[in-house]
Amino acid sequence: MDSILVKGNGPLQGVIPIAGAKNACLTLMPATLLSEEPLTLTNAPRLSDIRTMTQLLESLGVEVSALQAGKVITMSSHGQISPVADYEIVRKMRASNLVLGPLLARFGHAVVSLPGGCAIGARPMDIHIDALAALGAEIELRDGYLHAKVAGGRLQGGVHEMRFASVGATENFLMAAVLAKGTSVLKNAAREPEIVDLADCLRKMGAQISGDGSPTIEIQGVDRLHGATHPVVTDRIELGTYMLAPAICGGEVECLGGKISLLAAFCEKLDEAGISVTETERGLKVARKNGRVKAVNVVTEPFPGFPTDLQAQMMALLCTAEGTSVLEEKIFENRFMHAPELMRMGAKIEVQGGHATVHGVERLKGAPVMATDLRASVSLILAGLAAEGETVVSRVYHLDRGYERVEEKLLACGAHIERIQGN
């Protein structure tokens, strides 16, 4: 199993290109099931999760071709499509459940295994089931599989208000409703940029959608969709992660493709902590304003609030801040598993339920640590960049699910980082 060796060596300087969004791409790929005509995605990230979604779609009968070193993905669902998503593939990744809505919309039935993924909370499927039921789907759980069907073979427009603004359930509802008969309305919908990106792609395919990016989305169902070509939106979580690198280490880094609008709440917290973020023609330039970073309090919230997927990385920054910070995790339970690993590096952190109190120290010290999930893995790398001595991060297969060529990008800015090949 591979590991990452990081040596703290001072300020970073350079540019980092930001890839297309993993979460957006994983949502866009199942949309190919909605049409017989090809769907082509450009600016696709080259990640293990994308390969897993490719395997899942191919197991359903979708033809998938990766072009230009994997940055362009062309998919076609014109052949015989199976409505069964098997456990052996679905268990590897939470986003696999996003085939449920498209399969129901186009074929009127589906059998999808309960998904797997990172151990950061239950992320229950009942929100998805309730949303699809509002469109006339009948879904029951048997032997670890969701068995879904539609009376009459076609979903019907409906109105549904979610109890929580779930990104995945919003995406499943959107993809199901575009082929439903009549008008559908989703209230308390998620507002993330990935939702808007999906809606943009579906409109290119012929869907009639309005209100995306707001709490209420309206969809007028159409009889069929056609093919399209669509660029994947910039990965705002990768963007935020690399913005924290010069914040932690010092120096100045320009993140190509970045926009403040993707991370407004996050940028406000960086400013409060003493980090300068400036928009350029190419992206965002990030540097410390002066001296030591200042402690700030953080509460994770659905977009446009502070992203839960940047909480672990922000904690790494605050470990060496001046003063005491409190981080409140309101999206997922059990998402402070990186705290004990940071404490191995000398951080002073107290965790109580959904709150973590971080008392800043002058300097972290390198240590062997273990990644517990995707975002935790990169938070430990960031901490290692600013620590004295060497840090070895093990179980970095988590990292490869969501970060494209992390060692290469940091090396280009002067970091001392290398991958150690496992057995």
Supply the residues annotated as catalytic: 118
Q: Is 23 annotated as a binding residue?
A: yes
Nearest partner of 128 among 177, 169, 87, judged by Cα: 169
Q: Is 22 annotated as a binding residue?
A: yes
Strand arrangement of the beta sheet that strand 159-161 belongs to: 159-161, 183-187, 216-220, 208-210
Cβ atoms within 10 Å of 423's Cβ, excluding its own = 4
Using an 8 Å Cβ cutoff, are 240 and 23 in contact?
A: no
Helix residue ranges per DSSP H, 205-254: 236-249
Alpha carbons within 13 A on the beta-carbon side of 38? 10
Residue 44 tokens read as 């696709």
Could you tell me which residues are beta bridge partners of residue 279? 284
For tokens 């990230």, name the residue.
45
Q: Is 309 annotated as a binding residue?
A: yes
Q: Is 331 annotated as a binding residue?
A: yes
Burial 285-305 (b: 16+ CB within 10 A, else e): bbbbeeeebbbbebbbebbbb
Cβ atoms within 10 Å of 272's Cβ, excluding its own = 13
Give the annotated binding-site residues for phosphoenolpyruvate.
Answer: 22-23
Give the annotated binding-site residues.
Answer: 22-23, 94, 309, 331
Give the annotated binding-site residues for UDP-N-acetyl-alpha-D-glucosamine.
Answer: 94, 309, 331
